[in-house]
């Protein structure tokens, strides 16, 4: 059974759960510097994905001068490639689409197909963030 909890940065208990998933995925697995990982914390609208009451995934969106930026998508390794991350992405899109703003993200190259399947397209050159190859992607409304 999956469920999604939406919360703001000031709900400390939920943010701790979200940050623990991010720590495992980004800092431990991908060796991202914590100073880079935990930026813009108070600007985000956060989501937690639960599977059988266990927090297994997280993501956030925030407003920028370019529109709505989706970011910090993290799913625990043992739950990847089961379609669970798509549940999280669809929920966020359902929330941000009515705002009518451009929706974009910086995808790790290994995740491009995940976002393509959801309606995103690549733009611009590839670049590196936290020593990981990325490409910009925009949502085709």
75-97 pLDDT tens trace: 999 999 999 999 999 999 999 99
Partners of 138 in the β-ladder: 104, 121
What is the value of pTM for the model shown?
Answer: 0.91
Query: Could you tell me the domains of the chain?
Result: 2-99 (3.40.630.30)
> Per-residue confidence at 121, pLDDT binned at 50, 70, 90?
very high
């Amino acid at each position: 059974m999956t469920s999604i909890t939406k919360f703001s940065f000031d709900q400390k208990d939920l943010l701790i759960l979200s940050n623990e998933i991010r720590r495992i995925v980004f800092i431990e697995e991908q060796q991202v510097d914590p100073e880079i990982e935990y930026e813009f914390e108070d600007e985000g609208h956060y989501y937690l994905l639960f599977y059988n009451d266990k927090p297994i995934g997280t993501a956030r969106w925030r407003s920028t001068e370019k529109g709505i930026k989706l970011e910090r998508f993290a799913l625990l390794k043992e739950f990847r490639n089961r379609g669970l991350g798509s549940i999280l992405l669809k929920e966020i899109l359902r929330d941000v689409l009515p705002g009518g703003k451009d929706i974009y993200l910086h995808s790790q190259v290994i995740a491009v197909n995940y976002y393509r399947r959801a309606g995103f397209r690549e733009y611009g050159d590839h670049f590196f963030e936290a020593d990981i190859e990325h490409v910009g992607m925009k949502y085709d409304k």
